[in-house]
């Protein structure tokens, strides 16, 4: 079956530091890949996505590139801010036809950014 593995947290960084959160996946077929973010007390929000190999998703200074050869989708940001403190989830989308469609999530990585 499908699975997503992302680096264990928590991750604590100083403001303006570089961020990398690793994500690797196992899937049959050609999944789409996502990063979702969950701020304290809220639901998940889509941060970025990529639909095919070598695609780069980007949003709010965050980037991730779909690497089929390494089955990875690592999240990066060049300079984090305190407002980026949240839990980040890597996910893949698997569509197997006849209306069957679901997301598989990693366990989440908690990021804390300190001033």
Partner 1 sequence: DAGVIQSPRHEVTEMGQEVTLRCKPISGHDYLFWYRQTMMRGLELLIYFNNNVPIDDSGMPEDRFSAKMPNASFSTLKIQPSEPRDSAVYFCASSAPGLAVTTDTQYFGPGTRLTVL
Interface ranges with partner 1 (CB under 8 A): 31-32, 41-46, 49, 51, 89, 93-95, 99-108
Nearer to partner 1, 15 or 60 (CB): 60
- Quick one: 99 or 115, whose CB is closer to partner 1? 99
Cβ at position 61, least distance to partner 1 in Å: 19
C-beta of 15 vs 68, nearer to partner 1: 68
Please report the beta strands in 1-115, taking only residues with DSSP state E, as ranges in sequence order.
Answer: 3-6, 11-14, 19-21, 23-26, 32-38, 44-50, 56-59, 62-65, 75-77, 86-97, 100-105, 109-114
**Nearer of residues 9 and 76 to partner 1, judged by Cβ:** 9
Smallest distance from the beta carbon of 8 to partner 1, in angstroms? 12
Q: Supply the DSSP string of 35-58, one letter for each residue.
A: EEEE-TTS-EEEEEEE-STT-EEE
Phi-psi region of 47 (alpha: psi -120 to 50; beta: other; left: phi over 0): alpha
Give the shortest CB-25-to-partner 1 separation in angstroms. Answer: 14
Report which of 91, 78, 57, 108 is spatially closest to residue 13, judged by C-alpha positions: 78
CB of 82 to partner 1, least distance (A): 22
């Amino acid at each position: 079956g499908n699975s997503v593995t992302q680096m264990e947290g928590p991750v604590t960084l100083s403001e303006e530091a570089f961020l990398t959160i690793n994500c690797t996946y196992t899937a049959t077929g050609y999944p789409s890949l996502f990063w979702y973010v969950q701020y304290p007390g809220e639901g998940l929000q889509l941060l970025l996505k990529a639909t095919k190999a070598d695609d780069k998703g980007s949003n709010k200074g965050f980037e991730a590139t779909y690497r089929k050869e390494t089955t990875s989708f690592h999240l990066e940001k060049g300079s984090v801010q305190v407002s980026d403190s949240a839990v980040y989830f890597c996910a893949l989308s698997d569509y197997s036809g006849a209306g069957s469609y679901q997301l598989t999530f990693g366990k989440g990585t908690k990021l804390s950014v300190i001033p």
